[in-house]
Amino acid sequence: MSTVEEIIGRTDPNDIDAILAMTNTDATEILHAVEDHAEAIYTWDYEKGARPQLNKLYEKAKVGQWNGETDLPWHEPVDQLALATHAFEEAGGMDSMIDFTGTGIESWGRDEWIQFNIESQNWSLSQFMHGEQGALVCTAKIVETVPWIDAKYYAATQVVDEARHVEVFAKYLDTKLSGTYPISIHLRMLLDDIIEDPRWDMTYLGMQIMVEGLALAAFGLTYQQTTEPLLKQLLRYVMSDEARHVAFGVLSLKEAYASMTQAELRERQEFAFEAALRMRDRFLQQEVWERMGADVNKVIPAVFHNPDRQEFQHLLFTKIVPNCKKLGLLDAGDGWLRKKFGEIGVIQYEDWVDTAEEVDSFALTRELDAENAFGRS
């Protein structure tokens, strides 16, 4: 068993100074190498359908493929300034600002906050893109390391999905938005940990349950909030894939965890908690504040303790917590993970529907045209 300090490098999960002390010192790097200690596993058991639920998911993946170049309306113009202005006004304008007294940005006016919205979108879509590449690499690793042929088949379809996701987010950023951001240090550290761990089920837990689970929730929130038709349709397509990916993790790990010892499950609980905090911390967007010239050491504490911001961060865990419960991780042993999720304020989502049960609701409806399927806001 590890202490919280050994898991995340600080005794208090909400220690703002410790969170802000973590910065990306390699922001300009192009290539990033990580040691992968896993063994590639062949299986000579080719019995297809030995795990019927995985086989069913594989069949859904084959018919759920889409083309990022031809299935999305790239001809649609995107006026990022108009969208940011609309979002600012819809949120209540200057009257909606929290108290930034003493932070150095209390003098910001309408123009600064609209520019902040623009930078925030650039940052969010950049992190989505980086996370999708992480999923691309991790799923390729799952193909290599998982011992079941049905899982290898499905994981291979996810590799294709993730390549497509990186492609469409990169194209949207390059052709429709006004800038990009390097990967958040918190996200990069988590992806590095997932790749470095030699155990195939840890790759599943870190990527399929934690990273993909949070991504599915984040995409859903963005989908609900955006009024931009191209982005809305792009996210809808991506979510149709992501729901299958998370379900893949739930179905696979449920079988794997059934035979694990309490000590082994405790390791998985600790890793899930570490992943949860790393993903939560990255949404503080310290890189955006820095680019806007703000003093993050003064601004971030005000943002972190704002009730509206805390509610948003908590909603990101609506997919993770019920999936962890279905896997038995919340209450394994002495219920350590339940206590930790309670401490960071997300345990209330434990009885929400797990992704394996709702995967069909995310599936694309091929009979409908884009306007009917996705709507216009």
Kindly report, residue by residue over 63-105, the tens digit of the pLDDT. 999 999 999 999 999 999 999 999 999 989 998 888 899 999 9
> Is the pLDDT confidence value at 366 over 70?
no
> Is the pLDDT confidence value at 153 over 50?
yes
Give the chain's domains with CATH numbers.
79-92+106-365 (1.20.1260.10)
d(CA 296, CA 283): 13
Angle, CA 131 vertex, CA 185 and CA 61 arms, to 5°: 165
Average pLDDT value over all residues in the chain? 92
The answer to whether 7 and 274 have CB atoms below 8 angstroms apart is yes
> What does the pLDDT look like over 219-246, one tens digit per residue?
999 999 999 999 999 999 999 999 999 9
- Sign of CA pseudo-dihedral 265, 43, 36, 216: negative
d(CA 361, CA 216): 13
What's the pLDDT at 1? 83
Segment 309-315 shows an average pLDDT of 85
Q: What is the pTM of this model?
A: 0.92
